A and B are shown apart, each in its own frame.
Chain A
Amino acid sequence: MKYSYYPGCSLEKNARSYHVSTMAIAKSLGIEFVEVEDWNCCGATEYISIEKVPAYALVTRNLALAAEQNGSTNLVAPCSACYLNLKKADHYLGENVDLRQKIDLALEAGGLSYQPGSLNVQHLLEIIAVDIGYEEIEAQVKRPLFNLRVAPYYGCLVPRPAAMGSFDDPEHPTSLDNILKRLGATVIDFPLKAQCCGGHMTQISEETALELLRRLLKNAADYKADMIATLCPMCQLNLDAYQDAVNAHFGTDYKIPIVYFTQLMGLAFGLPADELGFGSEIVSARPALEKITLEEPKPARTRERGKKKTDLPLPTRPEEG
Protein backbone atom coordinates (compact mmCIF):
# COMPACT_ATOMS: atom_id res chain seq x y z
CA MET A 1 0.00 0.00 0.00
CA LYS A 2 1.24 3.45 -0.93
CA TYR A 3 0.68 6.65 1.06
CA SER A 4 1.81 10.26 0.85
CA TYR A 5 3.62 11.00 4.07
CA TYR A 6 3.67 14.29 5.94
CA PRO A 7 6.15 13.95 8.82
CA GLY A 8 5.71 17.42 10.36
CA CYS A 9 8.35 19.41 12.21
CA SER A 10 8.40 17.34 15.41
CA LEU A 11 9.39 14.17 13.62
CA GLU A 12 12.44 15.89 12.19
CA LYS A 13 14.20 16.05 15.52
CA ASN A 14 12.35 15.87 18.82
CA ALA A 15 10.22 12.89 17.83
CA ARG A 16 12.82 11.25 15.59
CA SER A 17 12.16 7.91 17.27
CA TYR A 18 8.54 8.08 16.09
CA HIS A 19 9.69 8.60 12.50
CA VAL A 20 12.35 5.91 12.65
CA SER A 21 10.03 3.32 14.16
CA THR A 22 7.26 4.19 11.71
CA MET A 23 9.59 3.58 8.77
CA ALA A 24 10.80 0.34 10.32
CA ILE A 25 7.33 -1.17 10.80
CA ALA A 26 6.20 0.10 7.41
CA LYS A 27 8.74 -2.22 5.87
CA SER A 28 7.42 -5.21 7.82
CA LEU A 29 3.83 -4.35 6.92
CA GLY A 30 4.52 -3.66 3.25
CA ILE A 31 3.56 0.02 3.42
CA GLU A 32 5.29 2.51 1.14
CA PHE A 33 5.49 6.09 2.42
CA VAL A 34 6.32 8.83 -0.09
CA GLU A 35 7.31 12.00 1.75
CA VAL A 36 5.67 15.18 0.48
CA GLU A 37 8.48 17.19 -0.99
CA ASP A 38 9.25 20.59 0.53
CA TRP A 39 6.34 20.43 2.99
CA ASN A 40 6.06 23.28 5.48
CA CYS A 41 5.00 23.54 9.13
CA CYS A 42 1.27 23.01 9.72
CA GLY A 43 1.14 25.93 12.17
CA ALA A 44 0.44 23.67 15.18
CA THR A 45 -2.12 25.31 17.45
CA GLU A 46 -0.39 28.69 17.22
CA TYR A 47 -0.98 30.12 13.77
CA ILE A 48 -4.75 29.84 13.94
CA SER A 49 -4.67 31.88 17.16
CA ILE A 50 -3.25 34.87 15.30
CA GLU A 51 -4.62 34.99 11.76
CA LYS A 52 -7.21 32.82 10.10
CA VAL A 53 -6.62 33.11 6.35
CA PRO A 54 -2.82 32.78 6.52
CA ALA A 55 -3.24 29.84 8.92
CA TYR A 56 -5.38 27.98 6.41
CA ALA A 57 -3.10 29.01 3.54
CA LEU A 58 -0.11 27.62 5.42
CA VAL A 59 -1.76 24.24 5.87
CA THR A 60 -3.23 24.12 2.38
CA ARG A 61 0.14 24.63 0.70
CA ASN A 62 0.93 21.15 1.98
CA LEU A 63 -2.30 19.70 0.64
CA ALA A 64 -1.59 21.31 -2.73
CA LEU A 65 1.93 19.90 -2.83
CA ALA A 66 0.75 16.43 -1.81
CA ALA A 67 -1.97 16.43 -4.46
CA GLU A 68 0.35 17.77 -7.16
CA GLN A 69 3.18 15.35 -6.42
CA ASN A 70 0.73 12.57 -6.79
CA GLY A 71 2.32 10.04 -4.44
CA SER A 72 -1.09 8.82 -3.37
CA THR A 73 -4.48 10.37 -2.64
CA ASN A 74 -4.14 9.08 0.91
CA LEU A 75 -2.13 11.55 2.97
CA VAL A 76 -0.83 10.27 6.30
CA ALA A 77 0.41 12.28 9.26
CA PRO A 78 1.82 10.63 12.40
CA CYS A 79 1.54 13.82 14.50
CA SER A 80 -1.91 14.45 15.95
CA ALA A 81 -1.77 18.22 15.50
CA CYS A 82 -0.57 17.99 11.88
CA TYR A 83 -3.24 15.41 11.16
CA LEU A 84 -6.02 17.56 12.58
CA ASN A 85 -4.83 20.73 10.85
CA LEU A 86 -4.58 19.03 7.45
CA LYS A 87 -7.94 17.32 7.84
CA LYS A 88 -9.64 20.43 9.14
CA ALA A 89 -8.36 22.61 6.31
CA ASP A 90 -9.57 20.12 3.73
CA HIS A 91 -12.96 19.91 5.46
CA TYR A 92 -13.58 23.60 6.10
CA LEU A 93 -12.42 24.65 2.62
CA GLY A 94 -15.00 22.31 1.18
CA GLU A 95 -17.69 23.79 3.37
CA ASN A 96 -16.93 27.51 3.46
CA VAL A 97 -17.06 29.27 0.09
CA ASP A 98 -15.63 32.56 1.30
CA LEU A 99 -12.61 30.91 2.91
CA ARG A 100 -12.14 28.71 -0.14
CA GLN A 101 -12.01 31.69 -2.51
CA LYS A 102 -9.43 33.45 -0.37
CA ILE A 103 -7.24 30.39 -0.09
CA ASP A 104 -7.49 29.80 -3.84
CA LEU A 105 -6.16 33.31 -4.46
CA ALA A 106 -3.42 32.95 -1.89
CA LEU A 107 -2.23 29.64 -3.35
CA GLU A 108 -2.37 31.11 -6.83
CA ALA A 109 0.13 33.75 -5.71
CA GLY A 110 2.52 30.86 -5.21
CA GLY A 111 1.54 29.04 -8.39
CA LEU A 112 -0.40 26.30 -6.58
CA SER A 113 -3.99 25.13 -6.36
CA TYR A 114 -5.98 22.67 -4.30
CA GLN A 115 -9.39 21.12 -4.78
CA PRO A 116 -10.89 20.30 -1.35
CA GLY A 117 -11.75 16.64 -0.99
CA SER A 118 -9.12 15.41 -3.43
CA LEU A 119 -7.03 13.92 -0.62
CA ASN A 120 -8.02 11.56 2.14
CA VAL A 121 -6.19 12.78 5.25
CA GLN A 122 -5.48 10.00 7.75
CA HIS A 123 -3.64 9.59 10.99
CA LEU A 124 -1.00 6.87 11.19
CA LEU A 125 -3.05 5.01 13.81
CA GLU A 126 -5.96 4.84 11.39
CA ILE A 127 -4.05 3.28 8.53
CA ILE A 128 -2.47 0.72 10.85
CA ALA A 129 -5.68 -0.21 12.69
CA VAL A 130 -8.08 0.03 9.76
CA ASP A 131 -6.23 -0.25 6.43
CA ILE A 132 -3.72 -2.85 7.59
CA GLY A 133 -5.91 -4.36 10.28
CA TYR A 134 -5.39 -6.32 13.46
CA GLU A 135 -5.05 -9.73 11.78
CA GLU A 136 -2.11 -8.60 9.68
CA ILE A 137 -0.47 -6.98 12.70
CA GLU A 138 -0.75 -10.19 14.68
CA ALA A 139 0.65 -12.15 11.77
CA GLN A 140 3.85 -10.08 11.95
CA VAL A 141 4.45 -10.65 15.66
CA LYS A 142 7.64 -12.61 16.24
CA ARG A 143 8.45 -11.60 19.81
CA PRO A 144 5.24 -10.97 21.74
CA LEU A 145 5.30 -8.34 24.48
CA PHE A 146 4.16 -10.80 27.15
CA ASN A 147 3.99 -9.46 30.67
CA LEU A 148 4.38 -5.81 29.63
CA ARG A 149 1.62 -3.65 31.11
CA VAL A 150 0.86 -0.78 28.75
CA ALA A 151 -1.44 2.23 29.15
CA PRO A 152 -2.88 3.16 25.74
CA TYR A 153 -2.90 6.95 25.46
CA TYR A 154 -4.75 8.64 22.60
CA GLY A 155 -4.89 12.28 23.68
CA CYS A 156 -7.31 14.66 22.02
CA LEU A 157 -6.77 15.33 18.38
CA VAL A 158 -7.02 11.86 16.90
CA PRO A 159 -10.31 10.75 18.51
CA ARG A 160 -11.79 14.28 18.43
CA PRO A 161 -13.35 16.38 16.93
CA ALA A 162 -15.68 13.82 15.44
CA ALA A 163 -17.66 16.18 13.21
CA MET A 164 -15.39 15.48 10.23
CA GLY A 165 -15.70 11.76 10.67
CA SER A 166 -13.52 9.71 12.97
CA PHE A 167 -12.45 6.10 12.70
CA ASP A 168 -12.68 5.58 16.45
CA ASP A 169 -14.94 6.60 19.31
CA PRO A 170 -14.28 10.23 20.37
CA GLU A 171 -14.61 9.46 24.09
CA HIS A 172 -13.70 5.80 24.44
CA PRO A 173 -11.38 4.91 21.58
CA THR A 174 -10.19 1.31 21.37
CA SER A 175 -8.03 0.97 18.22
CA LEU A 176 -4.73 1.41 20.06
CA ASP A 177 -5.89 -0.99 22.79
CA ASN A 178 -6.58 -3.58 20.13
CA ILE A 179 -3.22 -3.13 18.43
CA LEU A 180 -1.33 -3.48 21.71
CA LYS A 181 -3.32 -6.59 22.65
CA ARG A 182 -2.39 -8.20 19.33
CA LEU A 183 1.25 -7.51 20.18
CA GLY A 184 0.83 -9.66 23.30
CA ALA A 185 0.98 -6.76 25.76
CA THR A 186 -1.30 -6.50 28.77
CA VAL A 187 -3.40 -3.43 28.11
CA ILE A 188 -4.46 -1.77 31.32
CA ASP A 189 -7.71 -0.05 31.94
CA PHE A 190 -6.87 3.62 31.36
CA PRO A 191 -9.91 5.79 31.96
CA LEU A 192 -8.05 9.00 31.07
CA LYS A 193 -6.88 7.58 27.73
CA ALA A 194 -8.42 10.41 25.69
CA GLN A 195 -7.79 13.29 28.10
CA CYS A 196 -5.55 16.24 27.33
CA CYS A 197 -1.78 16.38 28.00
CA GLY A 198 -1.86 20.15 28.30
CA GLY A 199 -0.68 20.88 24.77
CA HIS A 200 1.34 24.10 24.56
CA MET A 201 0.38 25.02 28.13
CA THR A 202 3.73 23.68 29.34
CA GLN A 203 5.17 26.84 27.77
CA ILE A 204 2.48 29.28 28.79
CA SER A 205 1.05 28.29 32.15
CA GLU A 206 3.11 25.48 33.53
CA GLU A 207 0.84 24.86 36.50
CA THR A 208 -2.18 24.22 34.29
CA ALA A 209 -0.20 21.70 32.29
CA LEU A 210 1.44 19.99 35.25
CA GLU A 211 -1.91 19.20 36.83
CA LEU A 212 -3.17 17.61 33.62
CA LEU A 213 0.03 15.60 33.33
CA ARG A 214 -0.14 14.53 36.96
CA ARG A 215 -3.61 13.08 36.44
CA LEU A 216 -2.44 11.02 33.49
CA LEU A 217 0.65 9.72 35.28
CA LYS A 218 -1.36 8.90 38.41
CA ASN A 219 -3.94 7.03 36.38
CA ALA A 220 -1.25 4.94 34.71
CA ALA A 221 0.56 4.33 38.01
CA ASP A 222 -2.67 3.37 39.81
CA TYR A 223 -3.26 0.65 37.26
CA LYS A 224 0.37 -0.45 37.49
CA ALA A 225 1.34 0.39 33.94
CA ASP A 226 4.96 -0.30 33.00
CA MET A 227 4.76 2.33 30.29
CA ILE A 228 2.46 4.64 28.40
CA ALA A 229 2.13 4.21 24.64
CA THR A 230 1.45 7.45 22.72
CA LEU A 231 0.72 8.43 19.14
CA CYS A 232 1.56 12.14 19.30
CA PRO A 233 4.89 13.99 19.64
CA MET A 234 3.35 16.67 21.86
CA CYS A 235 1.88 14.13 24.28
CA GLN A 236 5.20 12.27 24.37
CA LEU A 237 7.21 15.44 24.98
CA ASN A 238 4.93 16.71 27.73
CA LEU A 239 4.65 13.43 29.61
CA ASP A 240 8.33 12.53 29.21
CA ALA A 241 10.21 15.83 29.51
CA TYR A 242 7.93 17.30 32.19
CA GLN A 243 7.68 14.18 34.36
CA ASP A 244 10.51 15.54 36.52
CA ALA A 245 8.69 18.84 36.89
CA VAL A 246 5.49 17.03 37.88
CA ASN A 247 7.40 15.08 40.52
CA ALA A 248 9.05 18.24 41.86
CA HIS A 249 5.79 20.15 41.92
CA PHE A 250 3.60 17.51 43.55
CA GLY A 251 6.18 15.58 45.56
CA THR A 252 5.50 12.42 43.56
CA ASP A 253 7.97 9.88 42.23
CA TYR A 254 6.68 8.76 38.86
CA LYS A 255 9.10 7.01 36.55
CA ILE A 256 6.87 5.94 33.72
CA PRO A 257 8.51 5.67 30.30
CA ILE A 258 6.56 7.21 27.43
CA VAL A 259 7.04 5.45 24.10
CA TYR A 260 5.45 5.59 20.66
CA PHE A 261 3.12 2.73 19.78
CA THR A 262 5.17 2.18 16.64
CA GLN A 263 8.23 1.44 18.77
CA LEU A 264 6.31 -1.31 20.56
CA MET A 265 5.07 -2.68 17.26
CA GLY A 266 8.62 -2.83 15.95
CA LEU A 267 9.80 -4.62 19.05
CA ALA A 268 7.04 -7.21 18.76
CA PHE A 269 7.87 -7.62 15.08
CA GLY A 270 11.33 -8.72 16.21
CA LEU A 271 13.23 -5.60 15.13
CA PRO A 272 16.22 -4.55 17.28
CA ALA A 273 15.44 -1.87 19.89
CA ASP A 274 18.18 0.50 18.71
CA GLU A 275 16.69 0.60 15.23
CA LEU A 276 13.44 1.77 16.75
CA GLY A 277 14.71 4.89 18.47
CA PHE A 278 14.66 3.45 21.98
CA GLY A 279 17.05 5.34 24.26
CA SER A 280 15.95 8.82 23.24
CA GLU A 281 13.20 8.89 25.86
CA ILE A 282 14.15 10.82 29.00
CA VAL A 283 12.55 8.38 31.43
CA SER A 284 14.31 5.23 30.31
CA ALA A 285 12.18 2.43 28.92
CA ARG A 286 14.85 -0.20 29.55
CA PRO A 287 13.73 -1.49 32.98
CA ALA A 288 10.20 -1.91 31.63
CA LEU A 289 11.38 -3.70 28.49
CA GLU A 290 13.35 -6.15 30.60
CA LYS A 291 10.07 -7.33 32.07
CA ILE A 292 8.99 -8.82 28.77
CA THR A 293 8.88 -12.60 29.07
CA LEU A 294 8.71 -15.43 26.60
CA GLU A 295 5.85 -16.99 28.51
CA GLU A 296 2.36 -15.69 28.13
CA PRO A 297 1.11 -14.47 31.53
CA LYS A 298 -1.62 -16.63 32.99
CA PRO A 299 -4.98 -14.97 32.64
CA ALA A 300 -6.15 -13.60 35.96
CA ARG A 301 -8.35 -16.23 37.58
CA THR A 302 -11.95 -15.25 37.75
CA ARG A 303 -13.56 -16.03 41.03
CA GLU A 304 -16.27 -18.61 40.94
CA ARG A 305 -19.45 -17.03 41.97
CA GLY A 306 -21.83 -18.19 44.65
CA LYS A 307 -19.59 -20.82 46.19
CA LYS A 308 -18.73 -19.43 49.56
CA LYS A 309 -21.91 -17.73 50.51
CA THR A 310 -20.87 -17.52 54.13
CA ASP A 311 -18.02 -15.11 53.26
CA LEU A 312 -20.37 -12.20 52.93
CA PRO A 313 -20.82 -10.38 56.20
CA LEU A 314 -24.56 -10.73 56.14
CA PRO A 315 -26.43 -9.96 59.32
CA THR A 316 -27.70 -13.15 60.89
CA ARG A 317 -30.97 -13.56 62.61
CA PRO A 318 -30.56 -13.75 66.35
CA GLU A 319 -30.94 -17.27 67.70
CA GLU A 320 -34.26 -17.88 69.16
CA GLY A 321 -34.23 -19.20 72.59
Chain B
Amino acid sequence: MTHTVTSRPPTLFDNVIAETPGKALNLHACLQCGTCAGSCPSGPDMDHSPRAIFAMLDAGMDDEVLNSNTPWFCVSCYYCMVRCPQEIPITDIMYTLKRLAIKEGYYQEDKAPEFSETFCDFVEHNGRSFELGIAMRYHLRYHPLGAFKMAAGMGLHLFRKGRMDLTPSRIKNVSQLKSILNKAKELGGAA
Protein backbone atom coordinates (compact mmCIF):
# COMPACT_ATOMS: atom_id res chain seq x y z
CA MET B 1 0.00 0.00 0.00
CA THR B 2 1.31 3.40 -0.83
CA HIS B 3 0.60 6.48 1.18
CA THR B 4 -0.14 9.62 -0.71
CA VAL B 5 0.38 12.86 1.09
CA THR B 6 -2.73 14.90 0.61
CA SER B 7 -2.34 18.60 1.10
CA ARG B 8 -4.35 19.86 4.03
CA PRO B 9 -4.14 23.06 5.99
CA PRO B 10 -1.61 22.81 8.81
CA THR B 11 -3.15 21.84 12.12
CA LEU B 12 -2.15 23.17 15.51
CA PHE B 13 -0.19 19.95 15.92
CA ASP B 14 1.83 20.82 12.78
CA ASN B 15 2.33 24.40 13.91
CA VAL B 16 3.61 23.33 17.29
CA ILE B 17 6.20 21.13 15.62
CA ALA B 18 7.19 23.79 13.09
CA GLU B 19 7.60 26.46 15.76
CA THR B 20 9.66 24.37 18.18
CA PRO B 21 13.40 24.08 17.70
CA GLY B 22 15.00 20.74 18.53
CA LYS B 23 13.58 17.29 17.91
CA ALA B 24 9.96 18.41 17.96
CA LEU B 25 9.05 15.91 15.23
CA ASN B 26 9.35 13.23 17.90
CA LEU B 27 5.99 14.44 19.16
CA HIS B 28 4.48 12.13 16.55
CA ALA B 29 5.98 9.26 18.50
CA CYS B 30 4.54 10.17 21.92
CA LEU B 31 3.76 6.90 23.71
CA GLN B 32 1.26 8.42 26.14
CA CYS B 33 3.32 6.78 28.84
CA GLY B 34 2.72 9.60 31.30
CA THR B 35 6.34 9.88 32.44
CA CYS B 36 6.16 13.64 31.83
CA ALA B 37 2.96 13.98 33.84
CA GLY B 38 4.41 11.99 36.72
CA SER B 39 7.55 14.13 36.76
CA CYS B 40 5.87 17.50 36.68
CA PRO B 41 6.10 19.57 39.87
CA SER B 42 3.31 21.84 38.60
CA GLY B 43 0.98 18.95 37.86
CA PRO B 44 -1.51 19.71 40.65
CA ASP B 45 -2.06 23.24 39.32
CA MET B 46 -2.43 22.30 35.68
CA ASP B 47 -5.85 21.64 34.23
CA HIS B 48 -4.32 19.04 31.87
CA SER B 49 -1.04 17.18 32.35
CA PRO B 50 1.60 17.48 29.63
CA ARG B 51 0.71 13.96 28.48
CA ALA B 52 -2.98 14.90 28.24
CA ILE B 53 -2.10 18.04 26.27
CA PHE B 54 -0.26 15.92 23.70
CA ALA B 55 -3.23 13.54 23.40
CA MET B 56 -5.53 16.54 22.94
CA LEU B 57 -3.22 18.04 20.32
CA ASP B 58 -3.29 14.76 18.45
CA ALA B 59 -7.09 14.64 18.68
CA GLY B 60 -7.36 18.14 17.21
CA MET B 61 -8.78 19.73 20.37
CA ASP B 62 -7.07 22.98 19.47
CA ASP B 63 -9.28 25.34 21.46
CA GLU B 64 -8.95 23.32 24.64
CA VAL B 65 -5.20 23.13 24.23
CA LEU B 66 -4.73 26.85 23.65
CA ASN B 67 -7.11 27.69 26.48
CA SER B 68 -5.37 25.42 28.92
CA ASN B 69 -3.34 26.83 31.78
CA THR B 70 -0.81 24.00 31.39
CA PRO B 71 2.02 25.83 29.61
CA TRP B 72 1.59 28.86 31.90
CA PHE B 73 2.18 26.72 34.95
CA CYS B 74 5.24 25.06 33.49
CA VAL B 75 8.21 26.12 35.61
CA SER B 76 10.81 25.00 33.03
CA CYS B 77 12.31 22.37 35.29
CA TYR B 78 13.15 20.08 32.34
CA TYR B 79 12.46 16.91 34.33
CA CYS B 80 9.97 15.73 31.72
CA MET B 81 12.47 16.37 28.98
CA VAL B 82 15.30 14.32 30.43
CA ARG B 83 12.94 11.47 31.28
CA CYS B 84 10.78 11.26 28.15
CA PRO B 85 11.60 7.92 26.47
CA GLN B 86 10.92 9.47 23.05
CA GLU B 87 13.20 12.49 23.62
CA ILE B 88 10.40 14.94 22.95
CA PRO B 89 11.47 18.54 23.76
CA ILE B 90 8.49 18.98 26.07
CA THR B 91 9.63 22.15 27.82
CA ASP B 92 10.28 23.84 24.47
CA ILE B 93 6.83 22.75 23.32
CA MET B 94 5.36 24.43 26.40
CA TYR B 95 7.05 27.68 25.35
CA THR B 96 5.66 27.26 21.83
CA LEU B 97 2.16 26.72 23.21
CA LYS B 98 2.45 29.95 25.19
CA ARG B 99 3.48 31.87 22.08
CA LEU B 100 0.72 30.34 19.96
CA ALA B 101 -1.89 31.03 22.66
CA ILE B 102 -0.83 34.69 22.77
CA LYS B 103 -0.80 34.91 18.98
CA GLU B 104 -4.28 33.44 18.71
CA GLY B 105 -5.56 35.74 21.39
CA TYR B 106 -6.25 33.10 24.02
CA TYR B 107 -5.56 33.31 27.68
CA GLN B 108 -5.61 37.09 27.91
CA GLU B 109 -6.90 37.20 31.45
CA ASP B 110 -3.87 35.50 32.88
CA LYS B 111 -1.02 37.06 34.79
CA ALA B 112 1.79 35.12 33.16
CA PRO B 113 1.68 36.70 29.67
CA GLU B 114 1.44 40.13 31.29
CA PHE B 115 4.54 39.46 33.32
CA SER B 116 6.45 38.25 30.28
CA GLU B 117 5.31 41.23 28.23
CA THR B 118 6.36 43.75 30.87
CA PHE B 119 9.73 42.04 30.98
CA CYS B 120 10.20 42.12 27.21
CA ASP B 121 9.15 45.76 26.85
CA PHE B 122 11.70 46.63 29.38
CA VAL B 123 14.54 44.67 27.85
CA GLU B 124 13.81 46.07 24.41
CA HIS B 125 14.25 49.61 25.65
CA ASN B 126 17.23 49.13 27.92
CA GLY B 127 18.99 45.95 26.92
CA ARG B 128 19.09 44.95 30.56
CA SER B 129 16.52 43.69 32.98
CA PHE B 130 16.35 44.24 36.67
CA GLU B 131 14.15 41.49 37.92
CA LEU B 132 12.75 43.17 40.99
CA GLY B 133 12.10 46.45 39.29
CA ILE B 134 10.30 44.63 36.54
CA ALA B 135 8.25 42.65 39.02
CA MET B 136 7.32 45.95 40.62
CA ARG B 137 6.34 47.60 37.37
CA TYR B 138 4.30 44.61 36.39
CA HIS B 139 2.41 44.65 39.65
CA LEU B 140 1.88 48.39 39.44
CA ARG B 141 0.51 48.08 35.95
CA TYR B 142 -1.71 45.06 36.44
CA HIS B 143 -2.07 44.22 40.11
CA PRO B 144 -1.59 47.26 42.34
CA LEU B 145 -2.32 45.25 45.45
CA GLY B 146 0.52 42.92 44.56
CA ALA B 147 2.82 45.92 44.22
CA PHE B 148 1.87 47.07 47.67
CA LYS B 149 2.44 43.63 49.15
CA MET B 150 5.78 43.39 47.46
CA ALA B 151 6.94 46.87 48.45
CA ALA B 152 5.95 46.38 52.07
CA GLY B 153 7.25 42.85 52.32
CA MET B 154 10.32 41.33 50.78
CA GLY B 155 10.87 44.35 48.52
CA LEU B 156 11.78 46.38 51.54
CA HIS B 157 14.09 43.70 52.88
CA LEU B 158 15.91 43.51 49.58
CA PHE B 159 16.09 47.25 49.27
CA ARG B 160 17.64 47.53 52.71
CA LYS B 161 20.19 44.90 51.76
CA GLY B 162 21.11 46.91 48.69
CA ARG B 163 19.78 44.22 46.40
CA MET B 164 17.03 46.16 44.70
CA ASP B 165 17.66 48.63 41.95
CA LEU B 166 15.41 51.60 41.58
CA THR B 167 16.99 52.69 38.35
CA PRO B 168 17.89 50.13 35.76
CA SER B 169 21.15 50.03 33.92
CA ARG B 170 21.21 50.46 30.20
CA ILE B 171 23.55 49.04 27.58
CA LYS B 172 25.58 51.43 25.44
CA ASN B 173 24.45 50.25 22.06
CA VAL B 174 20.67 50.19 22.54
CA SER B 175 20.17 51.24 18.92
CA GLN B 176 22.07 48.21 17.66
CA LEU B 177 19.97 45.93 19.83
CA LYS B 178 16.81 47.59 18.58
CA SER B 179 17.78 47.11 14.93
CA ILE B 180 18.47 43.43 15.62
CA LEU B 181 15.20 42.89 17.46
CA ASN B 182 13.14 44.80 14.90
CA LYS B 183 14.57 42.74 12.09
CA ALA B 184 13.97 39.56 14.10
CA LYS B 185 10.35 40.54 14.68
CA GLU B 186 9.84 41.23 11.01
CA LEU B 187 11.25 37.80 10.14
CA GLY B 188 9.62 35.89 12.92
CA GLY B 189 5.99 36.75 12.45
CA ALA B 190 4.05 36.80 15.66
CA ALA B 191 5.14 33.42 16.97
State the A residues within 8 Å of B (CB). Answer: 9-10, 12-16, 38-41, 43-54, 56-58, 61, 92, 95-96, 99, 102-103, 105-112, 156-157, 160-163, 170-171, 195-196, 198-201, 203-205, 208, 212, 237, 241-242, 244-245, 279-282
Contacts and interface: CB of A to CB of B under 8 A. Distances in A.
Given A14-B158, A198-B75, A205-B45, A103 B184 contact: yes
Interface in B1-44: 19, 21-23, 41-42
Given A13-B164, A14-B163, A244-B154, A38 B171 contact: yes
Contacts of A103: 184
Contacts of A110: 176-177, 179-180, 183
Contact of B180 (A10, A48, A61): A61
A280 B162 contact: yes
Contact of A47 (B119, B157, B172): B119
10 contacts: A9-B129, A13-B130, A44-B131, A46-B120, A96-B22, A102-B188, A160-B78, A163-B81, A196-B41, A245-B154
Contacts of B96: 52
A102 B183 CA distance: 9
A171 B78 CA distance: 10
B130 A9 contact: yes
Given A53-B188, A53-B189, A205-B111, 7 more contacts: A9-B131, A50-B102, A95-B21, A156-B78, A199-B76, A204-B72, A241-B157
B183 A96 contact: no
B123 A43 contact: yes
B190 A16 contact: no
Which of A54, A57, A107, A199 has its CB near the most chain B CB atoms (within 10 A)?
A54
B91 to A, nearest CB: 7
B99 interface: yes
B115 interface: yes
Given A156-B78, A170-B82, A241 B154 contact: yes
A33 to B, nearest CB: 19
B188 A203 contact: no
A296 to B, nearest CB: 33
A111 B176 contact: yes
A49 B116 contact: yes
Contacts of B98: 49-50
Given A13-B163, A41-B129, A51 B154 contact: no
A110 B77 CA distance: 33
A68 to B, nearest CB: 12
B165 A13 contact: yes
Contacts of B76: 45, 156-157, 196, 199
Nearest to B90: A161
Shortest 10 CB-CB contacts between residues of A and residues of B: A53-B188, A160-B78, A57-B184, A109-B183, A106-B184, A46-B119, A196-B77, A40-B127, A110-B180, A92-B21
B99 to A, nearest CB: 6
A59 B170 CA distance: 16
Contacts of A15: 163
B106 interface: no
B112 interface: yes
Interface of B: 19, 21-23, 41-42, 45, 72-73, 75-79, 81-82, 87, 89, 91, 95-96, 98-99, 102, 111-113, 115-117, 119-120, 123, 127-132, 135, 138, 153-154, 157-158, 161-165, 169, 171-173, 176-177, 179-185, 187-191
Contacts of A53: 184-185, 187-189
B163 A112 contact: no
Nearest to A96: B21
A79 B124 CA distance: 21
Contacts of A196: 41, 75-77, 79
Given A9-B131, A52-B99, A161-B91, A102 B187 contact: yes
Contacts of A102: 184, 187-188
A43 B117 CA distance: 11
Given A54-B188, A157-B76, A241 B113 contact: no
B82 to A, nearest CB: 4
B122 to A, nearest CB: 9
Contact of B42 (A38, A49, A56, A208): A208
A119 to B, nearest CB: 18
B102 to A, nearest CB: 6
A118 to B, nearest CB: 18
Contacts of A198: 75
A99 B18 CA distance: 11
A107 B173 CA distance: 13
